[in-house]
Amino acid sequence: MKFLTVEIVKPEDVNVILGQSHFIKTIDDVYEALVGSSPYLRFGIAFCEASGPCLVRRAGNEEDLISLAVENATAIGAGHSFIVFLREGFPVNVLNQLKQVPEVCRIFCATANQVEVIVAQTERGRGIVGVVDGESPRGVETDEDAVARHDLLRKIGYKL
């Protein structure tokens, strides 16, 4: 077995959700969960089949995000994994809907940060071990940092 890291390639204005599921119907059900969450949400999904033809299945409502999902899913290459790229919405707006999809087993990350996926490769194939999401802490929040955090949440509409 060997370990690899695969960097998720994405533009700054795009959020990513990486997860694991268990059935070919994942692509359809994740699509339905996302399209029903907001009329403004733009997204692309790719799902790596783990049996049968072992295709990268794809769906979405914005072609560049679908292409981005396919490129990253192919680079990761782990069976039963899926990746979603979002614009005009945040992961917090769709995570509960995704977790309710019967095929979804786990969410590895949901972020706007740069992400590295830690992948194990064996003779059988690849599996996701975990992710590196963003950077390590540089210190502890001060009172001024807390005020800035609250200001940001107000600015983007999550706090009154």
Domains and CATH numbers, the chain: 2-155 (3.40.1520.10)
Distance of CA 73 to the CA centre of its chain: 10
| φ/ψ of residue 11, rounded to 5 | -70, 160
Q: Which of 125, 33, 37 is nearest to 81 (CA)?
A: 125
Label the pairing between strands 56-60 and 115-121.
unpaired
Res 160: pLDDT: 73
Q: Which of 82, 112, 113, 114 is nearest to 98 (CA)?
A: 82
Q: What is the pLDDT of residues 24-47, one digit of tens each?
A: 899 999 999 999 999 999 999 999
Strands of the chain (E only): list them: 2-7, 15-21, 42-48, 56-60, 81-87, 104-111, 115-121, 126-133
| φ/ψ of residue 65, rounded to 5 | -75, -35
**One-letter amino acid for residue 8 of the chain:** I
- Specify which residues 45 forms β-bridges with: 59, 84
Res 24: pLDDT: 86
Q: What is the pLDDT of residues 64-83, one digit of tens each?
A: 999 999 999 999 999 999 99
CA 5, 125, 59 angle in degrees (round to 5)? 80
| φ/ψ of residue 79, rounded to 5 | -60, 145
Burial label for 44, CB within 10 Å (0-12, 13-18, 19+), is buried
With a cut of 50, list the residues of the chain below it in pLDDT.
none
- Specify which residues 120 forms β-bridges with: 3, 127
